[in-house]
Structure 1
Amino acid sequence: MAAIGAVSAFALLCLCLFAAVVVWDQTRERQAYSAPTRARPVPTRVVEQVVPISPSPTPLPPIVIEIDPEADIQTQILTAVYQKVNPSVVNITVRQPVPHKLNGEDFFTEGQGSGFVWDKQGHIVTNHHVVANASEIEVTFWNDVSVSAEIVGTDPDSDIAVIKVDVSPEELYPVELGDSDQVRVGERAIAIGNPFGYEGTLTVGIISAVGRSIPAVTGFQIPEAIQTDAAINPGNSGGPLLDARGRVIGVNAQIRSLVQANSGVGFAIPINLVKRVVPALIETGRYEHPWLGISGVTLSPSMARDLELPVERGILIIDVIPRSPAAEAGLRPGTRTVNYKGRRIEIGGDIIVQIDDQPLHNFDDLLIYLSRHTSPGQEVILTVARDGKLVEVPVTLGVRPTRIRE
């Protein structure tokens, strides 16, 4: 690059505006350069327990790389992110036994997914649905080294699992974690994974939306999911969704598609939720979610007006699960059925308008509050509209069952 003194003031200003830096570990940089390129929501929703976050491994001293402002900046950023993160991403192959034998022999099905290195102790994060019911797990690293892995813990409600490999710490490159609360619509989104078994594939798009709720295999909901149009296909599950600095902001988990392939609507589990779940899985092998035990719908001003309800916003309780914390606290379900815009809705029950000091405008507000601020055994105060009055109802949260109770 030419000396600054030889550049005009205008060129210096352009250099300052367009220069970008990318930081990565020294050891990782040396190896990375030589690396081979390889419907409608369910009423009762997922909630999470707050768990202290384990300290991250001490990072190696970073170095700063200047990107040539005369070259294509976007390309260089993507290339640098790939070189930084690809050594952290793994291909996961699982084998599951088939229930029926053929000629007396056991048969297995094989599936693939992605994951990423969490720490120097050999813990790898992926999706629960990638490793569920696996009898054998094989992890392949970016340099084609393959090792067996064992399950440390899984959480079906957040679709997160931790597996562990026995590998020297010098050969492990933990990811850098971002902050999903800071993600904004329109920002760059980068996915690295193994779609259809093609290792080390990078795709890029934008953050299409934040704060989505997506279904878990248990029937509950996963809150605050990140929506992206970066291509996510079968095999990408469990891999990282990254920002432009190569920090993990989510774990790729689902697509919305009629053909089981990328449709431009993909979803990632937010990394801040993963930060709460993973330490518990490493320590105990499981994660206990707080449970209220209701089903309901968001009450909008137009619905309240049409149905002549006493408040304009809140959560209209449709049903209270028997023997749940909500039932024990005396929360009231709907008492009569009405037809509202083609849907049958139970009304006449409590309408939750506040939890502790947090107003609730929709079901997601309750979902997020319970996820971020509560744990099983904790008492919360629900303010409900009942018989024309606002009533405070204390509820002691329980441990969520493995599936939604009918």
Structure 2
Amino acid sequence: MRFSRTARARLTSIEASSPASSRLRSAIESPRLLINGISLGEAPAQAARRRVCPLGGSLPSLEMDYIEGMTSQPPSRDADRLFRGQFLLLGLLVLGIAGNGWLIFSSHGGRDGPVGPLHDAGAEPRPVQASLEATPAEERTMRAFDMAHRSVVGVSTGALAAVRRNGHQFPVRIPHGTGSGFIWDAGGWIVTNWHVVQEGTLVWVTLANGEVHEGVLVGASGADDLAVIKINPSGLDLEPLALGSSHDLRIGQSVLAIGNPFGLKGSLSKGVISGLNRPIDTDQGLHMDGMIQTDAAINPGNSGGALLDLSGRLIGINTAIHSQTNGSSGVGFAVPVDLINEIVPLIIAGEMPVDTGRAVLGILMLEDPVTTSLGLVGVIVNAVLPGGGAEQAGLKSLEQGDQDDPNFDRITALEGEAIRSSKDLLKALGQHQPGEQVEVTFVRAGETRTVPVTLGSAR
């Protein structure tokens, strides 16, 4: 079974020669707010799936007629008298409803209705009832959160791209993905998941107090989905997260998850350890063993955040979920802290550089929902990274400001295997090694082309 990552670190877009290109240009001029890859506004495909049951509307009309074949004669006089009596009763009922409606309407004009006076000039705020004391379990949860939440940070990535205006190019930052992380020590080292930062060329860290600092990727272990970022610690009061242990965890033990689901900073969820030593396969083709399973709510944006025991100590780093909806389903997974405490010092010491041995094309992708909402299939190149295989092969990225020549490529196949989404592309790349040459098929200006691309290593 496949598990979807909790960080959204992929981007998407549209075809130059298709009718959607005009919508792309308008979307660029009036960008939509995205929170962790989720647009504030419904995509057409999503809206089409919604079914609304209206409450209210006009009453159905009453139609009375003879039914052909049921009788050969019109109603008798008695039946007609009964029929007219029913209409008279219906008319009185309608008048009664209308009368009540008039009374209700007129009462808003200043008169007292049947419920008595509508206003009280002596109205005052109600007294507040004293709260009950927190239970010992609640006290322990709140104490653990107070100890740890200042050590949990937000991590966002992006890339530089060129915007062309009036014949001149200007560099702009393109947001890419968001996730979470935690402070390792006061020296400015931040730990997060590798998949949170692997496709971004720029990294920003948001501290619990809201301050945003630019970060530098120090190194990573792709096989363990761990990465370390460094920020400048000068003048910062950084609080490292207390470490616990994972070898002595027990199923049923209470745990807390702190992170930034959907960009909501410092969110807390609570659950228990549901399983230990779980093997999982991610949607990016990574196999991981020894994972902690929990039912604490973990959603997109929680990746890289802290899984804590009730003493406020780190016992794992939230990494993946098993979900059909890309949201919490009560089946989340975390890298155990014993492994984190083994790998992170090696990265900080320079013994594990950023090169993770995973094959990449050297591009950034636009969000899949944008492509889907515009009726397009494939992966649209948002940015071509300098020095990568895609640049050497001549792939073109989306140039946001160039309305006369929306020049970008939409990847539709790799080595003959159909690519319908960024997930398909990452899965296909997982079957190859850096240095291999693969055939990449893409569409540019309505024309399908295939070029050889030499794969690089994830950085």
When normalised by structure 1's length, the TM-score is: 0.51
Equivalent residue letter for 1:93: S
Q: How far has the Cα of 1:120 moved from its partner?
A: 1.4
Equivalent residue letter for 2:157: V
2:103 equivalent in structure 1: none
**Distance change >3 Å, CA 140–CA 75, structure 1 → 2:** same
Contact 1:97-1:109 at 8 Å conserved across structures? no
1:249 equivalent in structure 2: 315
Q: Secondary structure at the match of 2:288?
A: strand
Task: Give the Cα separation in 2 of the matches to 1:97 and 1:216.
Answer: 28
Task: Give the Cα separation in 2 of the matches to 1:75 and 1:169.
Answer: 35
Contact 2:2-2:282 at 8 Å conserved across structures? no
1:263 equivalent in structure 2: 329
Contact 1:151-1:164 at 8 Å conserved across structures? yes
Task: Give the Cα separation in 2 of the matches to 1:169 and 1:159.
Answer: 30
2:141 equivalent in structure 1: 78
Contact 2:308-2:316 at 8 Å conserved across structures? yes
Which aligned pairs between 1:20-35 and structure 2 lie closer than 5 A? none
2:294 equivalent in structure 1: 228
Which aligned pairs between 1:267-306 and structure 2 lie closer than 5 A? 267-284=333-350, 286=352
Higher alpha-carbon deviation: 209-218 or 252-261: 209-218
Equivalent residue letter for 1:268: A
Task: Give the Cα separation in 1 of the matches to 2:235 and 2:295.
Answer: 35
Q: Secondary structure at the match of 1:177?
A: coil
Higher alpha-carbon deviation: 157-166 or 168-177: 168-177
Question: Any stretches of 5+ residues in structure 2 without a counterpart?
Answer: 4-131, 355-456
Equivalent residue letter for 2:227: A
Deviations 1:177-198 (A, max 9, x none): 1110111100001000000000
Is 2:206 the partner of 1:140?
yes
Identity, % of aligned pairs? 40
2:225 equivalent in structure 1: 159
Task: Give the Cα separation in 2 of the matches to 1:109 and 1:121.
Answer: 27
Contact 1:78-1:244 at 8 Å conserved across structures? yes
Task: Give the Cα separation in 1 of the matches to 2:195 and 2:164.
Answer: 26
Contact 1:158-1:216 at 8 Å conserved across structures? no
Task: Give the Cα separation in 2 of the matches to 1:197 and 1:285.
Answer: 33
**Distance change >3 Å, CA 188–CA 169, structure 1 → 2:** farther
Contact 1:88-1:173 at 8 Å conserved across structures? yes
When normalised by structure 2's length, the TM-score is: 0.46
2:32 equivalent in structure 1: none
1:91 equivalent in structure 2: 154
Determine which structure has more spread, i.e. the larger CA radius of gyration.
Answer: 2
Equivalent residue letter for 2:141: L
Q: Secondary structure at the match of 1:196?
A: helix
2:193 equivalent in structure 1: 127
Equivalent residue letter for 1:94: T
Q: Which has the higher strand share?
A: 1
Task: Give the Cα separation in 1 of the matches to 2:284 and 2:163.
Answer: 29
Equivalent residue letter for 2:144: V
Q: How far has the Cα of 1:96 moved from its partner?
A: 3.3
Q: How far has the Cα of 1:215 moved from its partner?
A: 2.6
Q: How far has the Cα of 1:210 moved from its partner?
A: 0.5
